[in-house]
Structure 1
């Protein structure tokens, strides 16, 4: 074997050893990260860290077991997140892409069922504003509201084509039009409430949370009402094919033109509007002609 061949073998062996060591180090790092993520975090310890940094914020509950890497912090009707060190605070929404569930919206609904989507579903609330730095106060200026800053009073449906509507419920009941999103937890709660009431629902899906694919399937299903309830329940949609979905495009154009950026939006037959979820008894009284 020549000197060149021996040198090549030595270098090749060195590269193999280096590659092995690099791979082992990478695997060790990943294994360590996974192991670290499985170590239970002490909720009380994190709560103590938050209280030290935000003494004016009255904490209700700290839960570090729901979202990997984050602790969910409840402070009255407010909701925000911190990392396990209690140093970094996150104001926003957590969305589970695997289950397609808005975890923040679900939790906010549990905390306060009367909360309007117009303010609550766009972002979650922040801690006590006096403890937030100026930049964070500006960033969170619109997230503490429990109602939209300029709620709609009336909305005419005359410009909307019949296409794009999914009609369900009691044909002889009072009619309400609902702009909804199949990934909106509030819309699911509203659907369940309306389902138990003597009403006729004209549901018009709009893709606020990236649900257009689901809306297409529901709209093109042989039984739209059945498919609608399956979609809210997270069940596989049956008997769905391809069809003309231009009516759904019209729904979304109408929503943009009238500033419907949150869901659900409920429109009574006389044009009166509710932006957001309401409990069943409030809905029943409003649909009958009362005030929300």
Structure 2
């Protein structure tokens, strides 16, 4: 009787061991198909879903989304610059992507060049312009009053103009729109005062020479220009945008800038 009981117990244990995995597999097989698959297909670009996920995860506002030649990777133009992400938003990339075909190409720079030119067109009536009499080239420059190299460049305006280079200025307060206390930064207020002046070109020259700025308030698009600069990769001043959309960061002496423009 003892042997019979022992054999029955072993058989029951063995049977249970077989049954549990089978039941587990059966349970898995009964999982609804919608739950078994990823929430989004990584091979399909859903622009609105990607924008929402980036905003939800990182707090970035995505202004524009474009496919890139890299499968499954999209370019994101945001309120804080340019980035890349996988189509489903699971991966976020900060940096550059290069094409290594017949020649090395910066994919971001090619796309940004178009975006820069489109954006500049929107501000064409809100720039401070120093026009060359014998105009050969036109550059658009993000500037700030407190920037040393911006002042140095502006002090040489006669030389730039004599070489046929027209300057068009956009505002870029380096300290941002607001300070740490949440109030408008001094840089923003100074640029706004210049843009609100009756003679903006004269006011900017005076401000950059250190002669002071008459405080003025109006609906000048300082914040819009600053935000546009951040979107297209500006992170300092001066930042020079050429007629083809290419951006040259930093100060360029008159002769050097003229030579660069000749070969662009």
TM-score if structure 2 supplies the norm length? 0.47
Whichever of the two has the greater Rg, that structure is 2
TM-score if structure 1 supplies the norm length? 0.43
